[in-house]
């Protein structure tokens, strides 16, 4: 059974905690797997290379409710 798409999410990346960047130029989603409880799923993602080892990288996940209906 497919999990209803009631929640949206977005991964954002920053090097200074001020400017946040999102999208496929920064983060690549590798896959999404239902957790078997018909409520949650596990998403695997990674930063898009290249990044310098001397540059800080901060990552956050923004989550929002898409609908409040049944």
- Tell me the per-residue pLDDT of 39-58, one tens digit each, with 9 for 90 and over: 788 999 998 877 777 788 89
Give the pLDDT confidence score for residue 24 in this predicted structure.
Answer: 92
Torsion of CA 43, 68, 39, 6, to 10 degrees: -30
- Percent of the chain surpassing pLDDT 90: 40
Confidence of residue 70 (pLDDT cuts 50, 70, 90): low
Report the mean per-residue pLDDT for the chain. 83
Confidence of residue 4 (pLDDT cuts 50, 70, 90): low
Q: Is 66 exposed, middle or buried (0-12, 13-18, 19+ CB in 10 A)?
A: exposed
| Average pLDDT estimate for 15-26 | 92
């Amino acid at each position: 059974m497919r999990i209803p798409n009631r929640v949206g999410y977005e991964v954002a990346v920053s090097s200074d905690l001020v400017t946040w960047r999102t999208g496929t130029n920064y983060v690549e989603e590798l896959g999404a797997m239902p957790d078997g409880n018909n409520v949650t799923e596990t998403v695997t993602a990674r930063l898009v290379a290249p990044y310098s080892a001397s540059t800080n990288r901060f990552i956050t996940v923004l989550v929002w409710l898409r609908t409040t209906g049944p």
